[in-house]
Amino acid sequence: MSLPSVSGTGGGDGETGGLLSRLARIGIALSAEKNLDALLERIVDEALDFTHADGVTLYLAEENALSFKISRNLSLGIRAGGREGGPSAFPPVPMDPRYVSAYAAINKRTVNVADVYHDSGFDFTGPRAFDARTGYRTVSMLATPLLDHEGAVIGVLQLINALDTATARVTAFTPLHVELAESLASQAAVAITNVRLVKETERLFDGFLAVMATALDARSKYTHGHVRRVAGLAMEIARTINDETSGPYAGVSFGRDDYDELRVAGLMHDIGKIITPEHVLDKSVKLETIFDRAELIRTRYALIAARQEADYQRRRAALTEGSAPPEKLENLARAHEQAMAEVHAERDFTLACNTPGEFLDDGKIERLRQIAARQFEMEGAPLPRLSADELENLTIRKGSLNEKERTIIQNHIVITIRMLEQIPFTRKLARAPLYAGSHHECLDGSGYPKGLTADQMPLQSRILCVADFFEALTAADRPYKKAMSSERALGILEEEARKGKLDGELVKLMKERGVFEKFEENFKSGAYGF
């Protein structure tokens, strides 16, 4: 590109080189700005200074019109739109070629008007009305389109009243002005497009997160909202750490990117449960598979009781026919009542063991084994009162999962890591997979899947461990347990910290700063954005 020398605006190779150098600096400055509002302000300020115009207005193409975004006028001291607000915004310009800015957008070419009061090619009702209202005198106008990388119009940069640098008089825009404006518009379009692409990518990724969180919620009615609550609680812990001015976290500071990374890790930490079988994920009682096999046991004991009743009636009839003394009938009846009571007690005990509790003691396990060793007849064949699989599940000491099912559940974290490692996270989110993949690790190396130790677990991983553990304890929607109070849950967390499994300082912080209470309030108000 060669910039011509034009009288009144400078000349010579030195001036041209200076313009090129300045244009390069402007391009670097625009590309470094990531906030759209600040970027638009930078564009109009640079346009005024670079082209020596008295006024500038920036429009962006939105919904088949050019929407006003920001305007500056040096003579009137106007700063409208942008972050500072200012006077009322101008109305959108319809995509009608009668208007200068719209014509430039439609035809993707710069329009240079020498004098709006003598040019009859466009509708200048707007500028003339503005002049009548403010006492301003609009003379020259230059409108150049902003084109993105695909050649689509994303906006229009409109300059008003070129100023001669020597006399400060209003003149027409020269060919040099046109080339300067087009160069600046090109750089502005690139910068705006880049900022928009970043924002669109972030929105796309957030949408992906929302979809995955929704899918996880839909997988299990019992853990609905778990990932969102864990993410929110983790963020609240981080915010509390930021407020600490003394103690172990006095020098720790989480920035916006750190919050985003922790939020993403929290929302994605259970993504591997997508492949966990539903009957394992939602197993509410020990005998549950596709259905609760407790019904089979009830039916089995109903059959045993019916056989007992039939045997009693047959023996009673035989004694009656044989004119047995009343004492024998009474003894038979008492023995029958005792036998039936034992059958019902055995059934009730067995079914009671189906309900998961905090711990099943050795005495109950031994009794279940004795029951399983007993038999009953089915179509003439002896069968155990409890099958081997039923016994295995009923003797689960804690919770509702047997060892095989627990392995399946624990495998979700392995799948989570594999899935997250396939996502090309940005530099700002690069450690989210590490945090998400270590939420079941323990500081003493006893966790899974990698057996990480304290020195291998950054603070964010420890935060997620505490948040996930605490949410699981206090959740009110789990079928295998009742909701636990926050006080009791904190007590359990403290015990785990004493064992060296959880970060004791984090647990102490949660307790002393009332983190959970703040989290509940903020979560209900939607403060975390999900």
Residue range 308-352, pLDDT digits in tens: 999 999 998 988 888 888 898 899 999 999 999 999 999 999 999
Share of the chain above pLDDT 90, in %: 56
Tokens encoding 45: 């300020």
CATH number, domain at 501?
A: 1.10.3210.10
Query: What pTM, to 2 d.p., does this model score?
Result: 0.73
Contacts of 221 (CB under 8 A, 6+ apart): 282, 477
In a domain, 207, yes or no: no
Can you read off the two tokens belonging to residue 139?
A: 């003379």
φ/ψ region of 63 (left if φ > 0, alpha if ψ in -120 to 50, else beta) reads left
Supply angle C-alpha 522, 230, 493, rounded to 5. 105
Find the mean pLDDT for residues 417-427.
Answer: 91
Q: What is the pLDDT of residue 362?
A: 93
Contact 138, 122 (CB under 8 A): no
Q: Which domain holds residue 159?
A: 12-198
Assign 46 a pLDDT band (cuts: 50, 70, 90): confident
Q: Look at the alpha carbons of 133, 134, 136, 141 in this order and tell me if their dihedral is positive or negative.
A: negative
Token code pair at residue 326? 């009343």
Model pLDDT for residues 129-158, shown as the tens digit of each residue: 999 999 999 999 999 999 998 899 999 999
529 compared with 245, residue with greater pLDDT: 245
- What are the structure tokens assigned to 229, written together? 């609550």
Q: Considering the domain boundaries, does residue 3 fall inside one?
A: no
Task: Using pLDDT thresholds of 50, 70 and 90, give the confidence band for residue 11.
Answer: very low
Final residue of a structural domain among 356, 381, 400: 400
46 φ/ψ angles, rounded to the nearest 5 degrees? -65, -35
Kindly state the average pLDDT of the residues 20-42: 73
pLDDT band at 20 (very low <50, low <70, confident <90, very high): low
Domain end (from 198, 229, 258)? 198
- At 300 the pLDDT is 93
List pLDDT tens digits, range 462-509.
Answer: 999 999 999 999 987 665 566 789 999 999 999 999 999 999 999 999
Angle between helices 12-32 and 36-51 (to 10 degrees): 170
- Condensed to tens digits (0 to 9), the pLDDT of residues 394-413 reads 999 988 889 999 999 899 99
In this prediction, residue 3 has a pLDDT band, given cuts at 50, 70 and 90, of very low
Query: Quick one: pLDDT at residue 379?
Result: 79
3-state secondary structure 368-410: HHHHHHCEEEECCEEEECCCHHHHHHHCCCCCCCCHHHHHHHH
Instruction: Specify whether 326 is located in the same domain as 439.
Output: no
Mean pLDDT of the chain: 87
Note whether residue 2 is domain-resident.
no
Of 198, 230, 261, the last residue of a domain is 198
Query: What is the total count of domains within the chain?
Result: 3
CA distance 90 to 60: 12
Same domain, 345 and 431: no
Q: Which residues of 468-492 are buried (b: 16+ CB within 10 A; e: fewer)?
A: bbbbbbbbeebebbeebebeebbee
Q: Are residues 93 and 179 in the same domain?
A: yes
